Structure 1
């Protein structure tokens, strides 16, 4: 048993096993392999301990630790301060679906200590996709992403490309969906210049925001036709 005077300087590892078990189980439920799930569980448990474990919560009625929804850049700096690795993933994330969740879960399982999502602003999505996109406004998309266990922070950018944002984040790993090729991504050279690498993650077949929107529009047309015939 450590001397009482040393306890205050020791990391609190209470709950690390629970963190691992829950995180690994969630990863398995999301369709990740056993190896990916174990790595994800270890990563989450490590992050839990690094942020103070259960001891980070005050027992005297004080405030809980800061929310993950804080500044993405502050989050990155805190991780780098203790030698951690940062993973970043990008996209519009309009009409969040299982394909998005799979991509972000796999990104978080790549060995980073924090996952920052670089999300296109409403104007950026509109320039990329055309009206009526985005269907879900930026504040709501950000809220949904921050609610995911695998996401540590969300940074919104207005440009078509996240290059300027990645110059600030300097991720160790940059993740995009497998519908791209590294040569098609102008930001890949930015990541590489800062010592990082780009990883393309396979997509989940059958899921895309564009396809979901088309299905909704088709269903709307079908209902109107039925209504007109009945009238």
Structure 2
């Protein structure tokens, strides 16, 4: 299974790097409204009922940039639905400092839901997404290549139900902190 996942990640990364993101997948037939956890659970149940693979990723997604978009597209290519676990405003403040987030959680949910590769968004208020992961039990937990799958605290959680943590290629130079700094300089 690990070899198959590794091959799928490599293939998805090649596809994304070749510029295939725009035609990667069409929008889901029925999109959840507003990114609520109940909608995410409906997406997960429907995907599982159809024999599909549930993929999840997570983060703050404050000032979404090209690195985020590429990671989300690569994650979606690994399965049949993509659920984004999104840090709430309070969680982002605890993790990033009092000046963050730059965008409200409502705006971040709306932005993520507008991307054709995202099927649902789950807000969580803790500092880490373990409880949100336990609620949806994805088959794959995907993070960018600036992480090592085996070092992720979520790896042990997702293994509880036989899921697997994987990483997709990192895109150097793409950073919310750098983007926020550049925006501050130009006013």
Q: Same fold (TM over 0.5)?
A: yes
What is residue 92 of structure 2 aligned with on the other side?
125
2:112 pairs, out of 139, 145, 148, with: 145
1:33 maps to which residue? 18
Q: TM-score, normalised by structure 1?
A: 0.67
Shift of 1:31: 4.5
**Quick check: 1:93 aligned with 2:61?**
yes
Give the count of matched residue pairs: 170
Cα deviations across residues 43-64 of structure 1 (Å, max 9, x unaligned)? x5xx86xx5xxxxxxxxxxxxx
Equivalent of 1:184 in 143, 151, 162: 151
- Give me the whole-angstrom Cα distance separating, in 2, the residues matched to 1:175 and 1:215: 28
Aligned pair in 2 of structure 1 residues 217, 157: CA closer, same or farther (>3 Å)?
A: same
RMSD: 2.4
SS in 1 for 2:101: coil
Secondary structure of 1:84's aligned partner: coil
Q: Gapped runs of 5+ residues in structure 2?
A: 1-11
- Which runs of structure 2 are paired with 1:11-160 in the superposition (5 Å)? 31-33=16-18, 40-41=24-25, 44=26, 51=29, 66-69=30-33, 71-110=39-78, 112-160=79-127
Distance in 1, matches of 2:104 and 2:67, equals 19
Provide Cα deviations, 1:102-145, integer angstroms capped at 9, x if missing partner. 000000111x1110001100011111100201000000000000
Name the larger-Rg structure: 1
Given the alignment of the two structures, is residue 216 of structure 1 paired with residue 167 of structure 2, yes or no?
no
- Residue in structure 2 matching 1:161, options 104, 128, 131: 128
- C-alpha contact 1:115 1:150 (8 A) present in aligned 2: yes
Give the Cα separation in 2 of the matches to 1:109 and 1:103: 10
